[in-house]
Structure 1
């Protein structure tokens, strides 16, 4: 039986869409070392297999209590900033999800992560989406959202298909 490899995703913060698109220059993503410094281009939260369209829309719905359709209709939800036809791509994360993540308590985030892990799209995913691992990832994403909002940055997802 072949093992499916999840879509590769890294969430990161940037000052603008143009700055976020810099993650596409080398094709290695936002955590790739910047030329000359050896430091990552951006602070990232890797969330393997958590694509920024349906799955992040579901997280937004669970966290905010707003209908999924409303969350997914946000103009900044999953808007492609740049990328080639075959990827990789940089995609926006809505400001309302950033606010919901940044404002949620640790307990609320852990509860939502547990419910999110039981959704159909995540139950079909690999072991890294067990509730305890997903809770840790959601906490990291919320922390990134908080720091981004403090400096008036937006969140983005760099994504590519598995090799």
Structure 2
């Protein structure tokens, strides 16, 4: 069993929590408009707790324990119960760091992230995951939105 993660932007915790009502995740199209319900990117197997904490530490230069102690690091805003899905927050500090990092900084972060928290993931794969996540962070900042993660268990 694995996890499926989609990171998405929403204006408030309350609006983000409505993504629980989209069984396919926040990028699932609305039945009336056929448009995605949220601006979202799939970032396979990058959990919003440990892996994102490692990334936050790399991008900010702060210790893992400090970044994961942030009150919005993985704070639950919606739960589908024991089987999920779950909606959690991404700290604004990390969202800002992602939005302000260019491709070179993201590639450097992917190398450091690969060496630290995720030794089995090649830096190229992590960099490829960071580019759309950083682009989402830029779009969220432009709208004054926050980042969230929708997580679900997979078979």
Give the TM-score, by structure 1 length. 0.89
Secondary structure in 2 matching 1:123: coil
User: How far did 1:89 drift?
Assistant: 0.4
> Over aligned residues, Cα RMSD in angstroms?
1.3
> Matched residues in 2 for 1:146 and 1:157: separation?
16
> Matched residues in 2 for 1:34 and 1:130: separation?
35
Gapped regions of structure 2 (runs ≥ 5): none
Q: Deviations over 1:31-60 (max 9, x none)?
A: 111121111111211111111011100000
Partner of 2:84: 87
Partner of 1:123: 119
Q: 1:105 to 1:26 in 2, by over 3 A?
A: closer
Gapped regions of structure 1 (runs ≥ 5): none
Match runs of 1:1-163 below 5 Å: 5-83=1-79, 84-120=81-117, 122-124=118-120, 129-163=121-155
> Matched residues in 1 for 2:152 and 2:115: separation?
25
Give the TM-score, by structure 2 length. 0.93
Secondary structure in 2 matching 1:9: strand
Q: Deviations over 1:131-155 (max 9, x none)?
A: 2122121011111111101211000
User: How far did 1:130 drift?
Assistant: 2.7
> Matched residues in 2 for 1:26 and 1:14: separation?
14
> Matched residues in 1 for 2:35 and 2:122: separation?
31
